[in-house]
A and B are shown apart, each in its own frame.
Chain A
Amino acid sequence: MPIIDPEKCDGCGLCVTVCHCNGLVIVNNVITIIETVECDWCTDCEAVCPTGAIRCPFEIVIQEP
């Protein structure tokens, strides 16, 4: 799931507005993930975050046929 740094999060809520799977909410002025099954890793939340508080890291693997 996306990784949140609560110390960097300023509760602006931009990530919540762009998330199309309703996976993010603001709780006590900090972003919290509530849903990960529907998350398609679009990384829009990471792109719009002005403080770098939410990260969507990729695992890079080799799987050749």
Chain B
Amino acid sequence: MAVQLEFLKGIPYFSGLGLAELESIREFVFEKTVERGEMVLLEGEAAEGLYFVASGVVKVFKTSAEGKEQILSIVRPGESFNDVPIFDGGSNPASAQTMGPVLLYGIKKNNIGAILRAHPQIALNVIKVLAGRVRHLVSLVEDLSFRRVIGRVAKVLLENAGDGTGREPRLTQQEMAAMAGTAREVVGRSLKALEEEGAISLDRHRIIIRDKEALREIMETPS
């Protein structure tokens, strides 16, 4: 299947470019089909190219030495990932895995320089995209570094626990994140951590508090 010009037109990197320019860029773009659950990139490995999601969804994440996963972003159609090592020459800063079948468009690292020199507008677009990326990551760093999120998530659970009769309000992870003043991805990780500590267990759509006292201690532990 040929790389679609209409799709390239919608990518923020190529915003403002004419059809003739997009045609010349298309020659550098390759397609890659990836199955569900496949690793597209591994953190720490040498970067080969920059990717755009044409269809499907990719998650970008880092893994701790203990194997804990922290999602950095969810990449949807039209968005790019692995930009950083292409521009700074370093290794992949994070891993990327498909969340379903995915079609990717890629540009090899060696071709980026030629594209930018031929179409300087792209450099301005790249700066804008990366600035937005930095803003999002700064907010995530603030959440993870300076605030004891797990304590605030514990508080949300204690304050919203019901008696199992079904009358209590149900909360999505997004709603819990808003109440705890954090990001949805951090709530997901906090719930897993609380489960590992034995304070809660997760059973499909139910969060079951197994040890209220332990949860209260986690809530009250200062940062």
* Contact B74 A47, beta carbon cutoff 8 Å: yes
A46: which B residues are within 8 A, CB to CB? Answer: 172-174
Question: Does B184 count as interface, using CB distance less than 8 angstroms?
Answer: yes
Of the stretches B5-13, B16-24, B203-211, the one at the interface is B203-211
B167 CB to closest chain A CB, in angstroms?
10
Closest to A2 in B: B205
Instruction: Find out whether the CB atom of A58 lies under 8 angstroms from the CB atom of B172.
Output: yes
Interface size class of A (residues with CB under 8 A): 20 to 34
Residue among B36, B100, B204, B209 making CB contact with A39, cutoff 8 Å: B204
Chain A residues within 8 Å of B76, by CB = 14, 48, 50
B193 is an interface residue with CB less than 8 A from chain A:
no
Q: Check B170–A63 contact: CB distance below 8 A.
A: no
A35, B158: Cα distance in complex, Å? 32
Taking the closest CB of chain A, its distance from the CB of B6, in whole angstroms, is: 16
**Residue A10 interfacial (CB < 8 Å):** no
Please report B residues at the A interface, Cβ cutoff 8 Å: 36, 55-57, 74, 76-77, 99-102, 157, 160-164, 166, 168, 170-176, 184, 188, 204-212
A residues bordering B, Cβ < 8 Å? 12, 14, 16-20, 39-41, 43-44, 46-48, 50, 52, 55-65
Extra pairs beyond A18-B57, A58-B173 (14, CB < 8 Å)? A17-B101, A17-B102, A18-B56, A18-B100, A41-B204, A43-B188, A56-B173, A57-B171, A59-B166, A59-B206, A60-B161, A60-B170, A63-B209, A64-B209
Contact sample, A vs B, 6 pairs, CB 8 Å cutoff = A18-B57, A46-B174, A47-B173, A61-B161, A61-B209, A62-B212
